[in-house]
C-alpha cells in the first residue's frame, strides 16, 4: 500500500488474528540480491509474522501485469494524467510528455483537467475540443466548486488500481481530498513567482476508494522521461495510431516527419510537439556511449578489426627499451 523509508505497508487479503489488516514489513535481503524491486501495487508473500506487533517480512513478489516507472506503481489498471488549466498555466508540451509516459504502460489512460473554475466556459470548451482532437476525452473538474467530481468518482470506482500522475501544483492531493475527505492530505499553494507547484506529496500511497478500487497518489514532477527508441515514440500518439490504421507509410522505418510517402502527414495539432519530442529522443540516443563490437576497435571515428595478440610485434620503441641485464 505504501513504501515508507525502509519499510513496506502491506494490506492482507484477509484479516489475521485480532483483526489485523495491515502489516509493517521489511524486505528479505535475498530480494535485493536477486535484483527484485518492490513497488507500491505489488502483490507480495510475507513470512515471519509477528501478529501482536503487526510486523512481518516480504519473502516474494508475484509477477506484475503492468509497471509505471515514474511514479513506480505496479499492476495499475488505469493511469489518470492530471493537469491544471491555470495556476500553473497548461503547457501542451509538458502535458504531451505525461501522456506519453502513461501510454507506455499499455493500460487505459484518462485525462483530468483541474481548476476548471479559473477559466470561462468558452476557454474550457476550446481546451476540450483541442484535447479531443489529440484522441482523449478530458474531464474538467474543480475541487473548489465540486464540478465533475461525481463523474470522476464513478470512473475511478471500477475495481483496480488508478494512478494519479502529473506536474507539481496541479491539485492531485486536493482532488483526492475532495474524493476522500477523511484523508485530509497536505496541500499548498502554487509559487507566486515561479508559477510552479510545491512538492507536498513525498511518496506513493494507495487509498481505498470503493470495493476493489484503489487510488494512488504520487509525488509531482515536471519533466517525465521519453522512450529510448525513436521508432517507439510515434505509436504513443493516438493521432498517429489512428492515421496508420487507415494507411501505411511507404517506408517501414518512417519516423513521420512529414516526408514524402508518410501516411501520417503534418496536418494535425501535435505534429510540432511530436517533432520536438522526436528530436529529444534522437539527441538522447546520440549521447549514449557506443558499445564496441566484439573483435573491433574504434580508430579515427571508424571501426577496424582487432589484431590477435599472438600476431602483434613489439614496437621499435619498446625494443630499444631493453633492460641492462638483457643486453649483457
Nearest to 76 by CA among 235, 204, 232: 204
Residue 209: pLDDT band by 50, 70, 90 thresholds?
Answer: confident
Considering only residues 286 and 213, tell me which one the structure prediction assigns the higher pLDDT: 213
Position 306 confidence tier, pLDDT thresholds 50, 70, 90: low
For the chain, the domains span: 2-61, 67-217, 230-287
Asked if 179 contacts 152 with a C-beta cutoff of 8 angstroms, the reply is: yes
User: To which H or E segment does residue 9 belong?
Assistant: strand 7-11
Q: What is the DSSP string of 113-156?
A: EE-GGGS-HHHHHHHHHHHHHHT---EE--TTT-TTHHHHHHHH
- Cα 290 from Cα 307, distance rounded (Å): 21
Starting at the edge strand found earlier in the chain, the sheet holding 2-4 runs: 44-50, 55-61, 22-27, 7-11, 2-4, 205-210, 213-217, 160-165, 78-84, 108-114, 139-140
The CATH architecture to which 2-61 belongs is Beta Barrel (2.40)
- 234-244, pLDDT tens digit by residue? 999 999 999 99
User: Does the pLDDT value for residue 312 go beyond 70?
Assistant: no
- In degrees and rounded to multiples of 5, residue 185 shows phi and psi of -65, 150
Average pLDDT over residues 12-39: 88
Q: Which ranges constitute the DSSP H helices of 3-115?
A: 29-33, 92-103
Task: Judge whether residue 198 has pLDDT over 50.
Answer: no
SS3 of residue 31 by DSSP: helix
- 3-class secondary-structure state, position 53: coil
Q: Which residue has better confidence, 185 or 288?
A: 288
Q: Mean pLDDT over residues 10-35, rounded?
A: 88
Residue recorded with cell 564496441? 292
Mean residue pLDDT of the chain comes to 83
Per-residue confidence band for 290, with pLDDT thresholds at 50, 70 and 90: low
Q: What pLDDT sits at residue 3?
A: 87
Question: Would you say residue 197 has pLDDT above 90?
Answer: no
CATH number belonging to domain 67-217:
3.40.50.300
CATH architecture of the region 230-287:
Orthogonal Bundle (1.10)
Question: What confidence score (pLDDT) does residue 295 get?
Answer: 60
Q: Read off the pLDDT of each residue in 165-185 and give the average, rounded to a whole number.
A: 80
3-state secondary structure (DSSP) of residue 77: coil
Alpha carbon separation from 217 to 108, 136, 195, 206 (Å, rounded): 17, 22, 22, 7
Q: What mean pLDDT is predicted for residues 177-197?
A: 60
Element (H, E) at 75: none
Q: What pLDDT sits at residue 328?
A: 46
pLDDT at position 125, please? 95
Q: Which residues contact 36 (CB under 8 A, 6 or more apart)?
A: 61
User: Following DSSP, what letter does each residue of 204-247 receive, concatenated?
Assistant: -EEEEEETTEEEEE----S-----S-HHHHGGGSHHHHHHHHH-
What are 29-58's pLDDT values in tens digits?
888 777 788 999 999 999 999 999 999 999
For the cut 60, the answer to whether the pLDDT of residue 327 exceeds it is no
**Among candidate residues 196, 152, 144, the one with its CA nearest the CA of residue 170:** 196
Residue 250 has pLDDT above 80, yes or no: yes
Q: Is-contact 69 34, C-beta < 8 A?
A: no
Amino acid at each position: 500500500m505504501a513504501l515508507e523509508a525502509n519499510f513496506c505497508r502491506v494490506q492482507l487479503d484477509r484479516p489475521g488474528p485480532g483483526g489485523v489488516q495491515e502489516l509493517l514489513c521489511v524486505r528479505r535481503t535475498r530480494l535485493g540480491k536477486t535484483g527484485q524491486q518492490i513497488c507500491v501495487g505489488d502483490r507480495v508473500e510475507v513470512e515471519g509474522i509477528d501478529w501482536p506487533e503487526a510486523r512481518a517480512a516480504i519473502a516474494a513478489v508475484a509477477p506484475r501485469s503492468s509497471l509505471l516507472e515514474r511514479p513506480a506503481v505496479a499492476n495499475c489498471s488505469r493511469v489518470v494524467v492530471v493537469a491544471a488549466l491555470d495556476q500553473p498555466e497548461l503547457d501542451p508540451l509538458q502535458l504531451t510528455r505525461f501522456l506519453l509516459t502513461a501510454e507506455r504502460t499499455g493500460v487505459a489512460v484518462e485525462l483530468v483537467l483541474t481548476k476548471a473554475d479559473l477559466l470561462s466556459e468558452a476557454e474550457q470548451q476550446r481546451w476540450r475540443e483541442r484535447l479531443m482532437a489529440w484522441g482523449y476525452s478530458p474531464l474538467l473538474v474543480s475541487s473548489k466548486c465540486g464540478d465533475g467530481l461525481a463523474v470522476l468518482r464513478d470512473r475511478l470506482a471500477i475495481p483496480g488500481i488508478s494512478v494519479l500522475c502529473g506536474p507539481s501544483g496541479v491539485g492531485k492531493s486536493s482532488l483526492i481530498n475532495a474524493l476522500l475527505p477523511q484523508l485530509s492530505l497536505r496541500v499548498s499553494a502554487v509559487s507566486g513567482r515561479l508559477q510552479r507547484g510545491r512538492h507536498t506529496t513525498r511518496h506513493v500511497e494507495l487509498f481505498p476508494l470503493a470495493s476493489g478500487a484503489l487510488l494512488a497518489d504520487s509525488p509531482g514532477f515536471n519533466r517525465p522521461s521519453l522512450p529510448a527508441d525513436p521508432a517507439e515514440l510515434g505509436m504513443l500518439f493516438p493521432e498517429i495510431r489512428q492515421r496508420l490504421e487507415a494507411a501505411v507509410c511507404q517506408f517501414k522505418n518512417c519516423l513521420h516527419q512529414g516526408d514524402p510517402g508518410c501516411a501520417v502527414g503534418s496536418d494535425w495539432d501535435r505534429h510540432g510537439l511530436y517533432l520536438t519530442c522526436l528530436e529529444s529522443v534522437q539527441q538522447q540516443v546520440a549521447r549514449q556511449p557506443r558499445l564496441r563490437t566484439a573483435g573491433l576497435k574504434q580508430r579515427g571515428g571508424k571501426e577496424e578489426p582487432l589484431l590477435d595478440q599472438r600476431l602483434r610485434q613489439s614496437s621499435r620503441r619498446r625494443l630499444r627499451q631493453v633492460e641492462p641485464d638483457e643486453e649483457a
